């Protein structure tokens, strides 16, 4: 099966349980909240939540005064997001082929939404993110730390076909720099026990340079 289709259909099947279990996850993850607060404060225009799921991160940013939209490959997740937070624009889309024009988004947030991509597709997604970011635009992404791929075929009693890719901070930094972004911060942490799957996490913050690179 096409990996994009398997991700979309898998999250359609778990959308109800995912929303019930994850919508308030940020209550127990203070580092995530602090990083999102920084993005909400620094962005001076539209923030796009890529792989938004049921919209809890977009909602968090919206509640802090940010202008936000959410994009997810799963129609089921988008339906949940629209129902839970009707004041935000949520759309079905693919983070490897974004519908935004060049340099029109002031910040992109991808919290654990790049983890279903292999290295080739990750590069495509990061290039798309770099394309749509405005000059001095911000990119925040969260990852599971490691160098393995975990395949999951059952999630909360639902049949799924999902590969979870773990990355090392250095590899993500290299991919971001290859796309013309400058890494400004890397934050690593241990899992919050009882709140999330117990994997080591890291976050990368990057910016698009304010001036085009010299030829």
- CATH number for 183: 3.40.50.150
CA distance 20 to 10: 16
Per-residue confidence (pLDDT) for residue 210, from 0 to 100: 87
Which run of H or E residues covers position 92?
strand 89-92
- What confidence tier does 214 reach under pLDDT thresholds 50, 70, 90? very low
Least confident of 106-115, 155-164, 180-189: 155-164
pLDDT at 4: 85
Q: How far apart are CA 183 and CA 67, in angstroms?
A: 24
Share of the chain above pLDDT 90, in %: 93
**Domain count of the chain?**
1
Residue 167, in any domain of the structure: yes
C-alpha closest to that of 200 among 215, 188, 214, 211: 188
Residue 106 lies in a domain: yes
Q: CA 144 from chain center: how many Å?
A: 12
143 pLDDT band, cuts 50/70/90, is very high
Residue 54 located in a structural domain: yes
Q: Is residue 213 part of a domain?
A: no
Q: What 3-state class would DSSP assign to 177?
A: helix
- For residue range 59-103, list pLDDT tens digits in order: 999 999 999 999 999 999 999 999 999 999 999 999 999 999 999
Q: Give the integer Cα–Cα distance in Å for 103 and 70.
A: 17
In-domain check, residue 65: yes
Domain span at residue 133 reads 3-207
Separation CA 101–CA 114 (nearest Å)? 21
- CA-to-CA distance for 86 and 155, rounded, in angstroms? 27
For residue 36, pLDDT beyond 70: yes
- What is residue 48's predicted lDDT score, i.e. its pLDDT? 98
In a domain, 215, yes or no: no
- Total residue count of the chain as it appears in this document: 215
1 pLDDT band, cuts 50/70/90, is: low
Q: What is the DSSP letter of 94?
A: B
- The answer as to whether 86 is a domain residue is yes
- Residue 108: pLDDT over 90: yes
């Amino acid at each position: 099966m096409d990996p994009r289709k398997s991700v979309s259909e898998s999250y359609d099947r778990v959308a109800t349980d995912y929303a019930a279990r994850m919508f308030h996850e940020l209550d127990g993850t203070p580092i995530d909240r602090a990083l999102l607060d920084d993005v909400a404060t620094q962005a001076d225009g539209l923030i796009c939540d890529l792989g938004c799921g049921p919209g809890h991160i977009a909602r968090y940013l919206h509640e802090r005064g940010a202008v936000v939209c959410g994009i997810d490959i799963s129609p089921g997740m988008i339906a949940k997001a629209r129902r839970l937070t009707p004041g935000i624009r949520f759309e079905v889309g693919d983070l490897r082929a974004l519908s935004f024009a060049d340099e029109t988004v002031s910040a992109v947030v991808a919290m654990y939404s790049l983890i279903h991509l292999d290295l080739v597709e990750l590069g495509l997604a990061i290039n798309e993110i770099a394309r749509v970011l405005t000059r001095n635009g911000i990119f925040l992404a969260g990852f599971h730390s490691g160098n393995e791929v975990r395949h999951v075929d059952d999630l909360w009693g639902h049949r799924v076909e999902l590969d979870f890719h773990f990355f090392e901070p250095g590899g993500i930094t290299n991919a971001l720099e290859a796309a013309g972004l400058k890494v400004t911060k890397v934050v690593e942490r241990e899992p919050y026990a009882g709140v999330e799957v117990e994997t080591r996490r890291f976050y990368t913050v990057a910016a698009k340079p304010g001036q085009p690179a010299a030829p």
